[in-house]
A and B are shown apart, each in its own frame.
Chain A
Amino acid sequence: DQQVKQNSPSLSVQEGRISILNCDYTNSMFDYFLWYKKYPAEGPTFLISISSIKDKNEDGRFTVFLNKSAKHLSLHIVPSQPGDSAVYFCAASRYSGGYQKVTFGTGTKLQVIP
């Protein structure tokens, strides 16, 4: 049962344009959402997060939007740069068994074309 879904395995965007990565979840108990970025042969790196009490969080070129009613979140990167080319993982967490348990999606590979 895939509770966090990233339905687009890959995305190509021209440098300078907007990249939009999407994520859907099924468990309404999730209360915190995160995006991680992963380069080849490295571990995932935390990028940005959002609490379920908010609908938007912005950090520089990165903005995460949360639509709780649709159980959907998205990551916007504006403007996209070639260095943004990586795999992006959506993650969702909920308090369970005494800790915040984090569940990951399968990732979207972003390619930013110079």
Chain B
Amino acid sequence: GAGVSQSPRYKVAKRGQDVALRCDPISGHVSLFWYQQALGQGPEFLTYFQNEAQLDKSGLPSDRFFAERPEGSVSTLKIQRTQQEDSAVYLCASSLGGGGNTIYFGEGSWLTVV
């Protein structure tokens, strides 16, 4: 597609529920990033994929967070047993290559845990 596509745009989850957030990057983009943005803050790095390989997951806040990109295109960020502090916007971004400097964001998935 023309841009990075994310779904769902909005998700309300009950505490303890599992959620899955989907990202469809720009076609041909090798690199895919997930960021978490809390209210009034900048995007915080979660994890990075180069094709299907997850090269960096140092930003994932706990083992309840899991990301995958099995075929090197679409990626899913899964949050198990959601907690209120997980409420944030989850941003997916992609770039052309691992050495590419400009990353392009999707519109984000807004997660509210109640």
Contact = CB atoms under 8 A, between A and B. Distances in A.
Contacts of A106: 40-42
Interface residues of B, number: 29
B100 interface: yes
16 contacts: A4-B42, A42-B107, A46-B102, A46-B104, A89-B43, A93-B101, A98-B50, A98-B98, A99-B99, A100-B101, A101-B56, A104-B42, A104-B43, A106-B40, A106-B42, A107-B41
B40 A32 contact: no
B108 interface: yes
Decide if the interface of chain A is mainly helix, strand, loop or mixed. Answer: strand
Interface string A65-102: 00000000000000000000000010001010111111
Nearest to A93: B101
A93 to B, nearest CB: 6
A93 B55 CA distance: 16
B111 interface: no
A46 B91 CA distance: 14
A49 to B, nearest CB: 6
Contacts of B55: 97-99
Contacts of A63: none
B103 A102 contact: yes
A72 B45 CA distance: 22
Contacts of B56: 97, 99, 101
Interface of B: 4, 6, 31, 33, 35, 40-45, 48, 50, 55-56, 91, 93, 95, 98-108
Interface of A: 4, 6, 32, 34, 36, 41-46, 49, 89, 93, 95, 97-107
B99 A34 contact: no
A43 B48 contact: no
B48 A89 contact: no
A41 B74 CA distance: 22
A100 B42 contact: no
Contact of B42 (A34, A95, A97, A105): A105
Contacts of A89: 42-43
